[in-house]
Amino acid sequence: MNMKSSLFLPIFGVVCSVMLYSCETEKDIIYGVNDVEVVRPTGSKGYQKSLTEFISIAYADIFDANITQDVLLDLSTPYAAFGDLKYIEDLIIRNFLNDQSAQLPSNTVMRANVDLFITETYNRFYNRNPNEFELWYMKDLIDSNADITPELVYYSMMTSNEYRYY
Amino acid sequence: MKRRSFITKAATATAGAMVLPYILPSGRLFAATGTRIVDHVVFCLFAGGVRNLESMQKVDGNLMPNMLLGSESISSDIASAIPSLGTIGSQRLQEQGTLFREFRFAQGPTGHFSGHSTALTGVYNLVDINIRTRPQSPTIFEYYRKHTDPSTSALNAWWISNSLGPYPALNFSSHPDYGALYGANFIQPASIINQTSYNVLGNPKAFAASEREKVAQMRAFFDENFAGQVNLADAGVFNPESDAAQIDSFIQTAFAEANSGVYNNPWGTGFMTGDMMNMFAAEKIMQRFTPELMVVNMQDVDVCHGNFTQYAAALHVADYALAHLWQTIQSTPGMANNTILIAAPEHGRNLQPNTVVDQYGRYAIDHTSDATSREIFCLVVGPTGKVVQNQNITQQMGESIDIVPTIAKILGFHDQVGGMLPGQPLNQAFV
């Protein structure tokens, strides 16, 4: 047996093996993921509330009632007469909150179901549900601070930047 | 060689140490370097359209006896309609400064907003004006706040207007390099300091400090989640919490004072016009905040569109109110002898009247950009040794666009902004 004969069989075997396995039909495997809608937690709020919109909505949010034309006019004029809107809005909200007829949930109600309170409050003021992080953060904050009241939460949200937009 | 290297490095380090302090929080490389003439400027827009014929030329007598020297009697046919207010102090205002008798609102339409805008930006409006938008050129407030070192809060800059409409928009511009961040606090006192506003805004909830801390924490969380969707200018001028607390205290005090009648007849004149109310509120702001830059206007004389005699009466009242403002400046600690008062109409009125006749047989007058409606005056009043006293400039000199650079010069930042302004400081007024 010469040198060439001694190499033929191993090489032939390797070639046959490659051909055998490479001819196997490849399976179509498709990996998929569920559709996830990626949005900002705050939604897309590109419009600033007008002067009358801000007052009317704030009034409805606090008093669960529509504002009268007289009160709207009484508030609109000073609103337009000061250049720092954040300050004048803060003043309006603090006057609303100090009104005896303001409709605020009690501390007991808030703490009986904090998740529900947060969700309802976000929908009331921001017209959206809180995302999971917001829900966790606010629940943790309320649970760990006995002195946080519904009034403070309302005041904070109504004087936040998001409340000025829709 | 080592010695040379050491000297080079030392010189570099020294130069760096000298330059670094001038890189300011506002992003500017250099601080304002100009010398101030005084620390406070009050600019009174003696507005509504005042004709030089009735003011400087006294064709109906000296209707402005607090500003102008002279005892020319008021025309007999209208004299009974002019309130008798008298004079304040022993010196007339023109004696306490420099009077440019032939000032000019040289270009642009002679409209009130156009005139106000020019006076506050130092730029004529030569294209159509959209009164629903802010001026495109920076206002004097923005120049002042951006180019003053150390930087100042909006409590140092006030725009006090006697009316709403488009005027609230003049506290800052839409200029991309300036804007709300450098704007002035705007207030229209007549619409906020009154019984009606007190009824709806005079009883705010007072939160304890610990409650405010919690609110601040929650609000910061909400705002952080909404970051990127807020346009700073949407909320107008910004006052940090400590400044807003001072404003709140001022407003609540004003409510209480208005409620108790303080604003009804504060000067003992027996009546209170819109102009007087605005000037009185300006005095209150001055006394509370001693702002470095305050602009206040009067516009009651614009009644001249329909009643000339009432115009003459309003001119007389505005003259008294201006003198009262100056008197209050001189009795306000920090501002006395450290303030320059500038007074100028935004524009004049036509030579020819319209067809409306009042009960005294006088024809009303409009302002539609004729040559006479461009003739105005400018008074610069200030301390001896700073402002040239008793100077009466009779030749045509100075324009509306010169007021902004003049204020910049007084407050020491003209070197920073002069290149952006078409006008020049009224150097003739200063020692």
Q: Is residue A74 part of a domain?
A: yes
Closest CB to A91: pick one of B217, B231, B248. B248
> Does A81 contact B192 at a Cβ distance shorter than 8 Å?
yes
Quote the number of domains for chain A: 1
> Does A165 contact B211 at a Cβ distance shorter than 8 Å?
no
Interface test with B, best of A77, A85, A125, A148 (most B CBs within 10 A): A77
- Predicted confidence (pLDDT) per residue in B308-366, tens digit: 999 999 999 999 999 999 999 999 999 999 999 999 999 999 999 999 999 999 999 99
- Predicted confidence (pLDDT) per residue in A87-97, tens digit: 999 999 999 99
Mean pLDDT, all residues of chain A: 87
Mean pLDDT, all residues of chain B: 92
> Does B191 contact A95 at a Cβ distance shorter than 8 Å?
no
Q: Is residue A126 part of a domain?
A: yes
pLDDT at B19 over 50: no
Q: Which residue of B has its CA nearest to A126?
A: B222
Q: Which residue of A has its CA nearest to B170?
A: A83
pLDDT at B271 over 60: yes
CA distance B361 to B264: 32
Q: Is residue A153 part of a domain?
A: yes
Tell me the nearest-neighbour CA distance from B297 into chain A, angstroms. Answer: 15
Q: Tokens at residue B279, please? A: 């000037």
Which residues touch B380 (CB under 8 Å, ≥6 apart)?
A: B97, B98, B99, B100, B340, B341, B342, B387, B406, B426, B429
Quote the pLDDT of residue A111.
Answer: 98
pLDDT at A23 over 80: no
CA distance B271 to B299: 17
Quote the pLDDT of residue B234.
Answer: 84
Quote the pLDDT of residue A159.
Answer: 96
Q: Specify the range with the lowest mean pLDDT, choosing from B21-25, B121-125, B148-152.
A: B21-25
> Does B248 contact A157 at a Cβ distance shorter than 8 Å?
no
Rounded to an integer, the average pLDDT of B399-423 is 97
Q: Is residue A32 part of a domain?
A: no
Quote the pLDDT of residue B152.
Answer: 87
Tell me the nearest-neighbour CA distance from A125 into chain B, angstroms. Answer: 12
Q: Is residue A39 part of a domain?
A: no
- Predicted confidence (pLDDT) per residue in B215-238, tens digit: 999 999 999 999 888 887 788 999
Interface test with A, best of B187, B200, B251 (most A CBs within 10 A): B200
How many pairs of residues across A and B have Cβ atoms under 8 Å apart? 148
Quote the pLDDT of residue A33.
Answer: 78
Quote the pLDDT of residue B149.
Answer: 80
pLDDT at B27 over 70: no
CA distance A139 to B303: 60
Tell me the nearest-neighbour CA distance from A65 into chain B, angstroms. Answer: 17
Q: Which residue of B has its CA nearest to A160?
A: B219
Rounded to an integer, the average pLDDT of A77-95 is 95
Tell me the nearest-neighbour CA distance from A133 into chain B, angstroms. Answer: 10
pLDDT band at A69 (very low <50, low <70, confident <90, very high): very high
> Does A95 contact B207 at a Cβ distance shorter than 8 Å?
no
Tell me the nearest-neighbour CA distance from B136 into chain A, angstroms. Answer: 18
Residues of chain A in contact with residue B204, where contact means CB-CB under 8 angstroms, are: 91, 94-95, 98
Q: Which residue of A has its CA nearest to B218?
A: A156
Quote the pLDDT of residue A152.
Answer: 98
Q: Is residue A34 part of a domain?
A: no
Provide the CA B302 distance to its chain's centre, in angstroms.
18
Q: What is the CATH classification number for the domain harbouring A91?
A: 1.10.3130
Query: What's the per-residue H, E or C state across B318-383?
Result: HHHHHHHHHHHHHCCCCCCCCEEEEEECCCCCCCCCCCCECCCCCECCCCCCCCHHHEEEEEEECC
> Does A95 contact B192 at a Cβ distance shorter than 8 Å?
no
Interface test with B, best of A84, A147, A166 (most B CBs within 10 A): A84
Q: Tokens at residue B100, please? A: 């440019």
> What is the enclosing helix (H) or strand (E) of B98?
strand B97-104
Tell me the nearest-neighbour CA distance from B237 into chain A, angstroms. Answer: 5
Quote the pLDDT of residue B26.
Answer: 41
Q: Is residue A94 part of a domain?
A: yes
> Does B236 contact A164 at a Cβ distance shorter than 8 Å?
no
Q: What is the ipTM of this complex?
A: 0.86
Residues of chain A in contact with residue B215, where contact means CB-CB under 8 angstroms, are: 152, 155-156, 159
Quote the pLDDT of residue A151.
Answer: 98
Task: Compute how many other C-beta atoms are within 10 angstroms of the C-beta atom of residue A156.
Answer: 24
Please give the residue range of the domain that contains residue A90. 51-164
Rounded to an integer, the average pLDDT of A6-34 is 67
Percent of chain B residues past pLDDT 90, beyond the cut: 86
Percent of chain A residues past pLDDT 70, beyond the cut: 80
Quote the pLDDT of residue B49.
Answer: 98
